[in-house]
A = this chain, B = another copy of it.
Amino acid sequence: MNFHLDARLEQDTLPAGRLELCEIHLLNDARWPWLVLVPQRSDCSEIFDLNDDEQLQLARETALISKVLQKLTEAEKINTGALGNIVRQLHVHVIARFENDANWPGPVWGFGVAEPYSKVAASRLISQLQSEMKSHVF
């Protein structure tokens, strides 16, 4: 399979798992629990560039990751989005939002400066995510 993660996504995220269609990455920004799903397909920038089956699989995996993140963080609201104005490789954001978070109720994209996790905090969160993902029948 000729799939390579975009260099900017590689730089800004930490690997957090893999599902049937998507790689799962944790955005390295401790301001929000924020996951990025990247379908392992080349040359797709819009969701409708995927074939019909892949589009539905992406919807299933986005819902799964949303539920996992909601359960783990007890977020007030999950935000999902596929923008891609800067990084054109198709990717879907799933973000846990809280009423006291850095830019509530505004969007997270482009806001301020990322605050990287400590190695310990990132490792702990990824471990929790993977444990929660395994516990969901999929």
Q: Is the CB of B83 within 8 A of A67?
A: no
- A62 contacts the other chain (CB 8 A): yes
Interface residues of A in 46-62 (CB under 8 A from B): 46-48, 55-56, 58-60, 62
CA distance A47 to B70 in the complex (A): 12
Task: Give the number of times this chain occurs in the complex, counting copies.
Answer: 2
Q: How far is the CB of A87 from chain B (nearest CB, A)?
A: 10
Q: Is the CB of A79 within 8 A of B70?
A: no
On chain A, which size bracket covers the interface? 20 to 34
Instruction: Find chain B residues with CB under 8 A from A82 CB.
Output: 79-81
- Select A80's contact among B47, B56, B78, B88, beta carbons within 8 Å: B47
Stretch at the interface among A5-13, A23-31, A101-109, A127-135: A101-109
Fill in one digit per residue for A113-132: 1 if any B CB lies within 8 Å of its CB, else 0.
Answer: 00000000000000000000
- A63 contacts the other chain (CB 8 A): yes
User: A interface vs B, CB < 8 Å?
Assistant: 45-48, 55-56, 58-60, 62-63, 66-67, 70, 76-86, 88, 97, 104-107, 109-110
